[in-house]
A and B are shown apart, each in its own frame.
Chain A
Amino acid sequence: MTTQPKTITLTGAQLAVRLLERQGVRIVSGIPGGAILPFYDALSQSQAIRHVLARHEQGAGFIAQGMTRATGVPAVCLASSGPGATNLLTAIADAKLDSIPIVAITGQVPQSMIGTDAFQEVDTYGLTIPITKHNFMVSSAHELLEVIPRAFRLALSGRPGPVLVDIPKDVQVQSIELPADESAWPAPGVADPLPEVPAEPLAIAAEMINGAQRPLLYLGGGVVHSGASLLATALAEKASLPTVMTLMALGAMPVDHPLSLSMLGMHAARCTNLALEECDLLIAVGARFDDRATGKLSQFCPQAKIIHVDIDPSELDKLKAAHVGLHGDVGQVLKGLLPLVKPVIREEWLGRVAQLKRDFPLVMPKVEDSRSHYGLVKAVADALDDSAAIATDVGQHQMWVAQAYPLRRPRQWLTSGGLGTMGFGVPAALGAALAEPERTVVCFTGDGSLLMNIQEFATLAEEEANVKVVLMNNASLGLVYQQQTLFYGERTFASKYKGIPDFMALAKAFGLDAVDLDEAADDAGARAMLGEALNRRGPCLIHVSIDVAEKVFPMVPPGAANKEMIG
């Protein structure tokens, strides 16, 4: 008697959940609704996956992003059809622009009703084409077997990015027979092998570095994604390369490393942009010449030849023609370059950069006052060690943190760079805290940004996540107010709030701890309060009033060349 091959019967929903389990997913965030209820029903039976119930799907998307940004491991967010899916869009677009590999799973109306304007039907597939790396509309339960692993593979491979899987309800309830032996199923998705590093341009690049008089290393988010921070620092050290970082790369090299010039571009220290003016070779690594970094592109690094390393071939020559374009994984390329570059001490150039640093440092007014804009950022850093993760929202507060916080390790820094999404901070910080519960996660936020996803305070409290929300309250959309003050003849409009919520009461109403540094008697008192709040486990709002007249300086006016810094 031959033994029949053993099979099991699973619904599409059960299969999808099983595939996520096999993929190693342990926490998902989302909000249920009609079209995704079969999936949620299957998820309720999972022993391996914990569901974190967000209060808005955008929150769920940013929670997933926070988990992914903190770890590099793709996280999953869930939403129902229609409004659930549209609420996710901002978080997906944000992930696209910062190359964050999340996987979004949405429910869809049954296939028989697609195209009928059914209740909560929206063209999720069509809507997400331009904001995902790839997307799928699943038309049978069997397809899930391929699609789910592929979604993870695509999210992770090459330049990472978000992938969306839209699953109609009938596919979720469809029963199919599968081999009981899961080793007969497609394997979980992993990143594709890295492309071969081309030898010839590598040798030319090394020669250019060896021959340069005033080379500069320009690190972008790709260095973090590739896990190449140590290699980048090693290259800088071996070849004596002063190093600038984009907003996305902060911490890839410790920002207080002797070779670091920290962030370049719109809100860089003067010395940083001035060094770029003088360099004769720019080595761009995993960076994309974003306008916030380069200023007026035609005048960016006017004297420099350019070596450009990127995993995405379409980034090479996209905005700035490179003398040598190196398509490859940043880590692989750096590994290849390291033995080819000569160890040198560029006394003259490093001396010049040191001079620029002395003459044109970042000026941080009132930094000794822990309740001022820069002072608060420094005081938070003083109370924590490098294990803390630092998230931000978007606005002046974000730039002050980017300028002043001593970020020293990759993935320490979670900020919305490309899309600049207000509301990013709280849910992203929550995601980071869920993924790495042993860390303290700080979210610097503004009074405008905080209100954009304040509902996630409920999730923070429910999860008892170790997130410290530091609110720099200027009762304004401060960055808008600053732009209107500087560039619109001081016609400040629609940027100051007349009604200001009682944030302390709000935090407490959600079940968070709350401390108001405004109430401390003096600076020492404020620091003591701050230190205690940061080091007591659990979610907490730390409120500080900030003067709306404070500016983020220096500033390159939008559209101007980087050397035209004001302030």
Chain B
Amino acid sequence: MNASTQSERQALACTVVELDVNNHAGVMSHVVGLFSRRAYNVEGIVVLPQGDGATSRIWLQVNEDARLEQMIKQVEKLEDVLAVRRHGNQHPVFERLEEFTRA
């Protein structure tokens, strides 16, 4: 794991999903629970509050697999999820973050 760099991992067809959510104590559980209960690993996750803090933005880095379409539909159904956007495998949030995780 520590031998593989961010870009190497992205070669395994990662995708970044960006969510706008209501910012409260339970929302992260709701989102990641959808993945964990399907044994679908979330490789990377970043959350930051937006504006006055009523909403947050979550970036999820996940492996592209056959279940992703269904996952996104499930995420879209969550009451606290306001918007879902899909990016390709490259996203600056994770690229810049990588320097913090370099040993």
- Chain A residues with a Cβ under 8 A of chain B: 125-126, 129-130, 133-135, 137, 154, 312-314, 317-318
- Interface membership of B25, Cβ < 8 A: yes
Given contacts A129-B26, A314-B77, 12 further A-B contacts (CB under 8 A): A125-B26, A126-B29, A129-B29, A130-B37, A137-B25, A154-B79, A312-B77, A313-B76, A314-B76, A317-B69, A318-B70, A318-B73
A130-B37, A134-B79 known; A313-B73 Cβ under 8 A: yes
* B:48-103 near A, CB below 8 Å: 69-70, 73-74, 76-79
- Residues of B within 8 Å of A134, CB to CB, are 78-79
A137 to B30, CA, bound (A): 13
A313 to B69, CA, bound (A): 11
User: Nearest CB to that of B34 among chain A residues?
Assistant: A130
- Residues of B within 8 Å of A125, CB to CB, are 26
A125 to B30, CA, bound (A): 10
What are 27 A-B residue pairs whose CB atoms fall within 8 Å in the complex? A125-B26, A126-B29, A129-B26, A129-B29, A129-B30, A129-B33, A130-B33, A130-B37, A133-B79, A134-B78, A134-B79, A135-B26, A137-B25, A137-B26, A154-B79, A312-B77, A313-B73, A313-B76, A313-B77, A314-B70, A314-B73, A314-B74, A314-B76, A314-B77, A317-B69, A318-B70, A318-B73
User: Nearest CB to that of A136 among chain B residues?
Assistant: B26
Minimum CB–CB distance for A168 against chain B, Å: 13
A317 to B37, CA, bound (A): 20
A134 to B29, CA, bound (A): 12
- Residues of B within 8 Å of A133, CB to CB, are 79
- Residues of B within 8 Å of A317, CB to CB, are 69
A135 to B77, CA, bound (A): 13
Number of interface residues of B (CB under 8 A): 14
A126 to B74, CA, bound (A): 18
A135 to B76, CA, bound (A): 16
B37, B74, B76, B79, most chain A CB atoms within 10 A: B79
A129 to B37, CA, bound (A): 11
B25, B33, B69, B73, most chain A CB atoms within 10 A: B73
- Residues of B within 8 Å of A130, CB to CB, are 33, 37
- Residues of A within 8 Å of B69, CB to CB, are 317
Minimum CB–CB distance for A130 against chain B, Å: 6
A129 to B74, CA, bound (A): 13
Minimum CB–CB distance for A138 against chain B, Å: 11
A130 to B73, CA, bound (A): 16
User: Nearest CB to that of A163 among chain B residues?
Assistant: B79
Q: Mark B22-58, 1 if CB is under 8 A from A, else 0.
A: 0001100110010001000000000000000000000
B25, B29, B69, B74, most chain A CB atoms within 10 A: B29
Minimum CB–CB distance for B27 against chain A, Å: 10
A135 to B70, CA, bound (A): 22
Minimum CB–CB distance for A2 against chain B, Å: 33
- Residues of B within 8 Å of A129, CB to CB, are 26, 29-30, 33
User: Nearest CB to that of B29 among chain A residues?
Assistant: A129
- Residues of B within 8 Å of A314, CB to CB, are 70, 73-74, 76-77
User: Nearest CB to that of B30 among chain A residues?
Assistant: A129
- Residues of B within 8 Å of A312, CB to CB, are 77
Minimum CB–CB distance for A397 against chain B, Å: 32
A332 to B35, CA, bound (A): 33
- Residues of A within 8 Å of B33, CB to CB, are 129-130
User: Nearest CB to that of A313 among chain B residues?
Assistant: B73
- Residues of B within 8 Å of A135, CB to CB, are 26
User: Nearest CB to that of A126 among chain B residues?
Assistant: B29
- Residues of A within 8 Å of B79, CB to CB, are 133-134, 154
Minimum CB–CB distance for B14 against chain A, Å: 23
A476 to B29, CA, bound (A): 41
Complex A-B, nearest 4 residue pairs according to Cβ-Cβ distance, in ascending order: A314-B73, A134-B79, A129-B33, A314-B74
Minimum CB–CB distance for B76 against chain A, Å: 8
A314 to B29, CA, bound (A): 20
Minimum CB–CB distance for A472 against chain B, Å: 36
User: Nearest CB to that of B37 among chain A residues?
Assistant: A130
User: Nearest CB to that of A154 among chain B residues?
Assistant: B79
- Residues of A within 8 Å of B73, CB to CB, are 313-314, 318
- Residues of A within 8 Å of B76, CB to CB, are 313-314
